[in-house]
Amino acid sequence: TQLLEQSPQFLSIQEGENLTVYCNSSSVFSSLQWYRQEPGEGPVLLVTVVTGGEVKKLKRLTFQFGDARKDSSLHITAAQPGDTGLYLCAGASGTYKYIFGTGTRLKVLA
């Protein structure tokens, strides 16, 4: 069974700090996605990474896909209160099926 484990589970930081969240698996994924879910809303796609070693930047967010395509990380520079939310990674598990990670709940304090 494919699993995606995220760490840390919870993170509370001050505005302006940097942080990294991780998404790890013992299985190889052809690609991974990161979603952000704000309170009271459904998840929204942030990025898809498809190549081992790939790095993608989205403003202050940097996403990396591990060389072996078993792990991914999300780094946020100078976090802002608007970054608060639940961050989820997701990978494909066969046709049409997705495996979601356990999530990292981030709170950025002003």
Partner 1 sequence: DVKVTQSSRYLVKRTGEKVFLECVQDMDHENMFWYRQDPGLGLRLIYFSYDVKMKEKGDIPEGYSVSREKKERFSLILESASTNQTSMYLCASSSYTGQDLETQYFGPGTRLLVL
Q: Which of 14, 59, 68, 97 binds partner 1 (CB under 8 A)?
A: 97
Does the CA dihedral 43-49-53-55 come out positive or negative? Answer: negative
> Which residues on adjacent β-strands are paired with residue 48?
33
Size of the site for partner 1 (CB under 8 A): 26
Let me know: does 91 contact 98? Beta carbons within 8 Å. yes
Amino acid code (one letter) for 9? Q
Nearer to partner 1, 14 or 96 (CB): 96
Nearer to partner 1, 39 or 110 (CB): 39
Q: Which of 54, 69, 101, 108 binds partner 1 (CB under 8 A)?
A: 101
Let me know: does 104 contact 8? Beta carbons within 8 Å. yes
Let me know: does 26 contact 84? Beta carbons within 8 Å. no
Q: Which of 33, 54, 69, 76 binds partner 1 (CB under 8 A)?
A: 33
By CB under 8 A, is residue 68 in contact with partner 1? no
Range in contact with partner 1 (rule: CB under 8 A) among 13-21, 42-50, 51-59, 66-74: 42-50
